[in-house]
Structure 1
Amino acid sequence: MLRDIISNDFFTIMLVVGMALIATAKLTSPKRFNDFISVLGNSKYLKIYSREQKFFDKFDALLFANLIISVSLFCYISFKFFTNTNTISPDTMFKISFGISVFILIKVFIERLIGSLFEIDAIIDQYLFQKISYKNYLGLVLIPINALLLFSFRPTLTFFYVTVILLFIVILIGLVTSFKAHQSLIKHNFFYFILYLCALEIAPCIILYKVIISK
């Protein structure tokens, strides 16, 4: 019986699709894209476009689609490296992508629901916009990393550690920026802030980790 192996052609297609999504976002909103590129060192993007956000934003949707593709590829490459296996069928990639999408979207839905229940929709919408922006930025960072891991050299444990630290720094910058923007509100509601961190930031990650290692 033949093993199901995902060839580099499949990876190449996914990388090209991801880059096409980014190119489309840049072509449709060139000024916004240029502002987005500098989001790590400049809060201009967050201040301007958080006021213009819509329930469905085509620019964010394109970058989010690339995020799902990029994260899925990195997860597969990581799994392949740490388990030393090539026996993952192509539909597994789609399952990974679907699982990541559902995980993020359900989390966003719950946070929006909480915002509606406590009548703080404006604050939650701004906070979610900031988080999604930094997550979408991860999608950009992962494209060259995935390309290197797939086509340039054999991945090493050190490279994975450096990559994870880099991604963590991007996420941390996003969290610090968001918390700094709402620091006065956090100070007056510190208990609820800690409760939020435990329930909606830390707990989902722990649950996801438990699900992954149990497979």
Structure 2
Amino acid sequence: MFRDIVFNDIFTILLITGLVIIATAKLVAPQRFSDFSYILSNFKYLKIYSKHQKFLDKFDALLFGNFIISLSIFSYLVYQNITNTKIISINVLFKLAFGIGSFFLIKVLIERLLGSLFEIDKLIGHYIFQKISYRNFIGVILLPINALLIFTITPTLVIFNIIITLLLIINILGVITSFKTHQNVIKANLFYIIVYLCALEIAPYIILYNVLIS
């Protein structure tokens, strides 16, 4: 009973933190947040805000913070289900959050470096912006999903597989949108795009999967 109380308290704090971050992002840019919320059904957000993207963007940074928290919670819930453990480790949660944040930040930096080397900075910049936007949207979606998994629904492997499939579909939709938007430029730089995809969209996740399995 004591462990259940501690479990709920820790995740309640994290969920509230994520909610505060999202509320802050909405307060900082209300119109942008409104456009962002319709990203799956309307490409207005991507068309408008990709033109004014910055290397350090307050709105994206806030939502990325929520993404790290939400994905860390979800990953830990999956881990608990697989290992059938009821004990929560703050240390493991912190390592998850640090690992997730570092992985995506380093990946973006390397992507920008390759874009500069291949002289396709503008294309890669737009592509990264779209990926970050869909990733941040996943973070927003995960917040209520995590709350349901913690306080309402008893998590099962089937439920986790359904959620993961949904998140993958959203992520793939983001990639397809990017390719449709820049298909002419992509055709003109097909070799570099293939190298880029193999190096930074396939290899990192294979390596990460192998690390997690080991």
TM-score tier by shorter-chain length is over 0.9
TM-score (normalizing by structure 2)? 0.95
2:134 partner amino acid: Y
CA distance in 2, matches of 1:9, 1:31: 33
Contact 1:6 1:90 (8 Å CA) reproduced: no
Q: Post-superposition shift, 1:6?
A: 5.6
CA distance in 2, matches of 1:30, 1:127: 24
Alignment of 1:134 onto 2:134: yes
Alignment of 1:58 onto 2:53: no
CA distance in 2, matches of 1:190, 1:56: 29
Classify the secondary structure of the residue corresponding to 1:7.
helix
Q: Post-superposition shift, 1:192?
A: 2.5
Contact 2:70 2:146 (8 Å CA) reproduced: yes
Matches for 1:134-173 after TM superposition, within 5 Å: 134-173=134-173
Identify the residue that residue 76 of structure 1 maps to in structure 2: 76
Identify the residue that residue 191 of structure 1 maps to in structure 2: 191
Q: Unaligned regions of 5+ residues in structure 1, if any?
A: none
Q: Post-superposition shift, 1:31?
A: 0.3
Contact 2:118 2:192 (8 Å CA) reproduced: no
1:105 partner amino acid: L
Q: Post-superposition shift, 1:89?
A: 1.9
TM-score (normalizing by structure 1)? 0.94
Contact 2:112 2:124 (8 Å CA) reproduced: yes
1:139-191 per-residue CA deviation (whole Å, 9 max, x = no partner) reads 01101110111000211222111101110111011000011111112223323
Contact 1:6 1:89 (8 Å CA) reproduced: no
Contact 2:127 2:178 (8 Å CA) reproduced: yes
Contact 2:111 2:124 (8 Å CA) reproduced: yes
- Percent identity of paired positions between Structure 1 and Structure 2: 60
Q: Post-superposition shift, 1:86?
A: 2.7
Matches for 1:89-108 after TM superposition, within 5 Å: 89-108=89-108
Q: Unaligned regions of 5+ residues in structure 2, if any?
A: none
1:58-95 per-residue CA deviation (whole Å, 9 max, x = no partner) reads 10000000000000000000000011013442111011
Aligned-residue RMSD, C-alpha: 1.4
1:197 partner amino acid: L
1:13 partner amino acid: I
1:104 partner amino acid: F
Alignment of 1:119 onto 2:112: no
Identify the residue that residue 43 of structure 2 maps to in structure 1: 43
Aligned residues: 211
